[in-house]
């Protein structure tokens, strides 16, 4: 079994569109996992039929029982997250600030504080419109995205791959370089980088590649909107060459990219230049993971 | 609300790549022609604002978070620390206590509650904040060190840095990270008003809905800016109208604007449509400043 993740550093470079296109090209062979939980969009292109929905809990939240509270203020004193406030003589927890460390619970002299498990979203097992299994999730508004739900989606994708005897797991990753990205790297065999030829695109790509190097992960790069800026595109090619990252394709700036999204389709499902380019990209990725 | 005479405007979005940085940098530069403005890049994982300005006279301040430092000579291996830590960041392995810095939330519980004071807190570098003055524009940028995973502590450290500045401009623009989870909630925490930047596509709409949910959940006043207007469909416009969400400005889809952004150039002087959008936002900011003063 091989696991491929699509990452970018910068947001909005086309990760989801590329992952979904690869999903259509690999139909019948793959499991799809959407690990960009902050902005999960894969379902818009894959129109999954949900087979199982489960609430996901991670971390804890403090709660003060006003009946037992004697307003001593110990909890406010020890909280390093500014989560405890006194409002009209009554102490209260701000759930957006509470990190669930439980320090207040330990010091409370009247046991007025208790810790409760915290819901962070829903988790789904589905069948994508390609007929392939899909693992995805929905994070609650403002929830903690520490990477635990990402890990759960990936674990489920692996289980689905075993159950349905699929050789390939295709993961759509998050932007950035923090917790959700690092959490999504466990067990990955190959990283497909999708970037754009802008100063921001290259800057963010460089930081991501540094993270990938810490995990000794092999990567290939796709430049989306490749003809937008010649100098930046060249700088990306040079950077990739110097860092042992193979160029696996360049997608020109094309209105068909957005037109496909509006129809709820991927860029390989209508007859245009994007399909030919993605076909080639898919073949080079297949070749790449076969020799891994 | 701040009630300090300072108006804090956060620029956020659900989806990445919708134009937060384009709007933040151009709006800050545009407003700074007439008044003092602070632009803070809170997207600490991937900060880009500074790419659009000359890198002159940068003052760099390292940022630390506090992590327990195990003292083997004082430790009696009682195990209190591992019981107190909810994040599994302090683990006892035989005769050793190990601290996993990346898992630690700096709550101090293990350190303060250790009966032998064997876990004093010590600073651990997580990133840095750079600060520069470009005429009337103060640019503050925080950047997480590569390999660090937690954005939230650095975002809060950046807010503290800004609060403690001597000369605080009356207008502060906060360029936020993408998404709808904890880093965004932290970044907009002190904002008086939030602009949610989106694009007129199915992805843009889906993520805008999530961002609006988040703003409503945390009780923040907000309006929407549609970038690349005309590139997709009318679904975002229609949804905003149905939901009673105000569209504060529209930036038309323009390949030249994308090219200028790609080259890290501020475009408002040459691009009249962008300038018009900024003018509208400047009026909105003036109204809000009065409202929140």
Tens of pLDDT, residue by residue over A186-222, are 999 999 999 999 999 999 999 999 999 999 999 999 9
Instruction: Tell me the CATH number for domain A2-47+128-291.
Output: 3.40.50.300
For chain B, give the number of residues: 293
Q: Which two tokens stand for residue B184?
A: 């965004």
**Domains defined along chain B, listed by start:** 7-63+127-292 (3.40.50.300), 70-119 (3.30.70.20)
| Contact assignment for A203 to B46 by CB distance below 8 Å | yes
Predicted model pTM = 0.95
B185/A102 Cβ within 8 A: no
User: How close, in Å, is residue B242 to chain A by CA atoms?
Assistant: 20
As a whole number of angstroms, the distance between CA A32 and CA A132 comes to 7
- Measure A8 CA to nearest chain B CA, in Å: 11
CB nearest to B259's CB, from A44, A144, A229: A229
Tens digit of pLDDT for each residue in A29-70? 999 999 999 999 999 999 999 999 999 999 999 999 999 999
A95-114 mean pLDDT = 96
The full set of domain ranges for chain A reads 2-47+128-291, 58-119
- For residues A34 and B267, what is the distance between their CA atoms, to the nearest angstrom? 35
Percentage helix, strand, coil for chain A under 3-state DSSP, each rounded to 5: 35, 25, 35
Question: Angle CA(B94)–CA(B95)–CA(B99) in degrees, nearest 5?
Answer: 85
Give the rounded percent of residues in chain B with a pLDDT score beyond 70: 99
Q: How far is CA B20 from CA B16, B47, B170, B189, B195, in A?
A: 8, 11, 21, 17, 9
pLDDT tens by residue, A157-178: 999 999 999 999 999 999 999 9
Query: Which of B108, B127, B262 to mutate to test binding with chain A, by most A CBs within 10 Å of its CB?
Result: B262
Give the whole-angstrom CA distance, residue B236 versus residue B228.
12
Give the Cα separation of A136 and A125 in Å (integer). Answer: 7
DSSP β-bridge partners for residue B9: B173, B193
Nearest CA in chain B to A202: B262
What pLDDT sits at residue B1? 43
Say how far apart CA A275 and CA A280 lie, in whole Å: 9
**pLDDT surpassing 70 at residue A292:** no
Cα→Cα distances B171→A245, B278, B279, Å:
43, 14, 15
- A91 pairs with which residues across the strands? A86
Q: Per CATH, the architecture of A58-119 is what?
A: 2-Layer Sandwich (3.30)
pLDDT tens digit string along B251-264? 999 999 999 999 99
| ipTM of the complex in this document | 0.94
Nearest to B218 among A37, A142, A182 (CB): A142
Dist CA A71 CA A82 (whole Å):
17
B94 is written with which tokens?
Answer: 């035989």
Query: Do the Cβ atoms of B224 and B198 come closer than 8 Å?
Result: yes
How confident is the model over B92-125, as pLDDT tens digits?
999 999 999 999 999 999 999 999 999 999 999 9
pLDDT value, residue B58: 93
Question: Among partner residues A16, A60, A229, which is closest to B86 by beta-carbon distance?
Answer: A60
Q: Which among A65, A119, A117 is positioned nearest to A92, based on CA atoms? A: A65
The pLDDT of residue A210 is 97
Which positions in chain B touch A231 (Cβ < 8 Å)?
263
A144 contacts B86 by C-beta, under 8 angstroms: no
Contact between chains at A102 and B109 (C-beta distance less than 8 A): yes
């Amino acid at each position: 079994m091989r696991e491929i993740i699509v990452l970018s550093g910068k947001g909005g470079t086309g990760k989801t569109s590329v992952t979904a296109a690869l999903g259509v090209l690999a139909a019948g062979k793959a499991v799809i996992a959407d690990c960009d939980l902050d902005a999960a969009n894969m379902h818009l292109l894959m129109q999954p039929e949900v087979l199982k929905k489960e609430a996901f809990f991670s971390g804890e939240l403090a709660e003060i029982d006003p009946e037992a509270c004697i307003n001593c203020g110990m909890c406010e004193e020890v909280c390093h997250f500014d989560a405890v406030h006194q409002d009209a003589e009554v102490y209260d927890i701000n759930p957006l600030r509470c990190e669930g460390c439980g320090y207040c619970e330990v010091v409370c002299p009247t046991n007025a504080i208790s810790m409760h498990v915290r819901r962070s979203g829903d988790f789904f097992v589905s069948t994508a419109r390609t007929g392939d299994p899909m693992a995805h999730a929905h994070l609650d508004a403002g929830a903690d995205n520490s990477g635990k739900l990402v890990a759960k989606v990936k674990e489920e994708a692996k289980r689905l791959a075993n159950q349905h005897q699929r050789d390939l797991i295709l993961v759509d990753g998050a932007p950035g370089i923090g917790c959700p990205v690092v959490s999504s790297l466990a067990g990955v065999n190959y990283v497909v980088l999708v970037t754009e030829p802008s100063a921001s695109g290259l800057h963010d790509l460089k930081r991501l590649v540094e993270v990938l190097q810490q995990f000794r992960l092999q990567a290939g790069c796709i430049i989306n909107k490749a003809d937008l800026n010649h100098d930046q595109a060249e700088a990306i090619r040079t950077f990739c060459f110097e860092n042992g990252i193979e160029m696996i394709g360049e997608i020109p700036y094309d209105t068909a990219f957005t037109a496909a999204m509006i129809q709820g389709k991927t860029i390989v499902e209508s007859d245009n230049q994007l399909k030919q380019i993605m076909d080639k990209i898919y073949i080079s990725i297949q070749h790449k993971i076969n020799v891994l | 609300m701040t009630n300090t005479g300072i108006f804090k405007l956060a620029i956020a979005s659900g989806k990445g790549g919708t134009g937060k940085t384009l709007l933040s940098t151009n709006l800050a530069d545009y407003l700074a022609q007439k008044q003092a403005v602070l632009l803070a890049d809170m997207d600490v994982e991937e900060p880009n604002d500074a790419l659009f300005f000359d890198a002159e006279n940068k003052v760099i301040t390292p940022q630390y978070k506090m992590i327990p430092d195990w003292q083997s000579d004082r430790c009696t291996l009682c195990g209190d620390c591992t019981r107190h830590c909810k994040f599994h960041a302090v683990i006892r392995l035989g005769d050793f206590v190990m601290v996993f810095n990346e898992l630690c939330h700096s709550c101090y519980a293990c350190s303060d509650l250790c009966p032998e004071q064997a876990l004093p807190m010590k600073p651990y570098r997580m990133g840095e904040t750079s600060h520069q003055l470009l005429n009337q524009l103060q640019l503050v940028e925080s950047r997480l060190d590569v390999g660090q995973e937690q954005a939230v502590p650095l975002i809060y450290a950046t807010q503290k840095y800004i609060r403690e500045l001597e000369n605080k401009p009356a207008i502060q623009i906060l360029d936020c990270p993408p998404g709808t989870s904890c880093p965004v909630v932290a970044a907009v925490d002190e904002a008086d008003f939030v602009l949610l930047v989106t694009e007129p596509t199915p992805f843009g709409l889906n993520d805008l809905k999530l961002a609006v949910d988040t703003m409503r959940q945390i009780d923040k006043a907000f309006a929407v800016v549609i970038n690349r207007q005309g590139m997709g469909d009318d679904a975002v416009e229609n949804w905003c109208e149905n939901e009673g969400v105000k569209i504060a400005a529209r930036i038309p889809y323009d390949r030249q604007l994308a090219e200028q952004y790609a080259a890290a150039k501020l475009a408002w002087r040459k691009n009249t449509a962008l300038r018009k959008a900024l003018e509208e936002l400047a009026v909105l900011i003036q109204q809000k400043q009065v409202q929140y003063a």
